[in-house]
Amino acid sequence: MPSVPRSSQASRALRRSQSTRITATKFECAAQAHLLAQKRRIPLATKYNVNSNVTAASTKISLPRALSRPVLGEVETSSLVGAYPDLAGIPAEYIRDRLALSRPKMRAALQAVEISISKSTLPTELGILMNEVVSFACPTHMFAVYNDAPIPVGHKRQISLFPIHDLVFGMHCTNLPTLPASRPSSSSSHTTVPVVPLRLPSPATFSLLHAYLYTQQPATLLASLARPCETDLLQLAAHANKIHGLWRNACLLGVVDAQLYDVIEASWESTIAAMQACS
């Protein structure tokens, strides 16, 4: 049998070695791809905390990737014409722009409001103590904000009171409930305004929407919705719930303000990205 030159044997051994390494590399890449695919399908779950009884296996968080922007029409001004006859025939967008001149006085009046309440049950009217600041732009109504979540036996439902001006909310909300007539007096030491029960998905975040409608400052709202620096998934989830609550309130009331939804969407995307990074 003819002998094979050593150079040919070495060449064949080298090719077999290269082929083995290529095959091994392919298997390794395939395994990594399979592992990454599995990770992409894993739902968000809390990391284990040695100081907590909650583990990743027992707590899962399911959130939408994006918050859809509601399709809204323009507000109807007819419901406000009775209280403000001069607004008849004027476009709502123009009225919103003109409100910028009155907002500083309105905000100052809201901050100076002192509520007089002596009943254990929610009345249909509430007294407001008048002073020089309040009299310049006295609120017209009092929102009693609540939700319909179940409450323990023996407990009372929590209600938060917010003084408001019908013109501000009426010009920004397409789904606002009909507000009763209100004629606050500016001459006496106190006045009464109607109480309007307002059921919302997230009463805890209504203060953000209330403040925004009176300031119209997206940068301030964005700062209020800045996500926490911590990488704890539970804290990020709580922050996401805050943004989601504001969004749900705005959608339910039909708030007409593109900049509001711009801020909500930007804050949501940032928070969801942070949650994915630490999950």
| Average predicted confidence (pLDDT) for the chain | 80
Instruction: Encode 18-50: b = buried (16+ Cβ within 10 Å), e = exposed.
Output: eeeeeeeeeeeeeeeeeeeeeeeeeebbbeeee
Q: Give me the percent of the chain exceeding a pLDDT of 90.
A: 48
Does residue 186 share a domain with residue 114?
Answer: yes
End of a domain among 164, 199, 234? 199
The answer as to whether 133 is a domain residue is: yes
Q: CA-CA distance, 168 to 170, in Å (whole number)?
A: 6
Residue 245 lies in a domain: yes
Say whether both 181 and 225 belong to one domain.
no
- Cβ 89 vs Cβ 172: under 8 Å: no
pTM of the predicted structure, to 2 decimals: 0.76
Quote the CA–CA distance of 87 and 75 in Å, as a whole number: 13
**Counted domains in the chain:** 2
- 179: its two tokens: 């507000």
- Which residues on adjacent β-strands are paired with residue 199? 146
Which of 164, 182, 199 represents a domain boundary (last residue)? 199
Q: What is the pLDDT of residue 61?
A: 67
What range does the domain containing 269 cover? 207-279
54 pLDDT tier (thresholds 50, 70, 90): very low
Instruction: Report if residue 19 sits inside a domain.
Output: no
Q: Report the DSSP beta bridge partners of residue 45.
A: 60
195 and 218 belong to one structural domain:
no
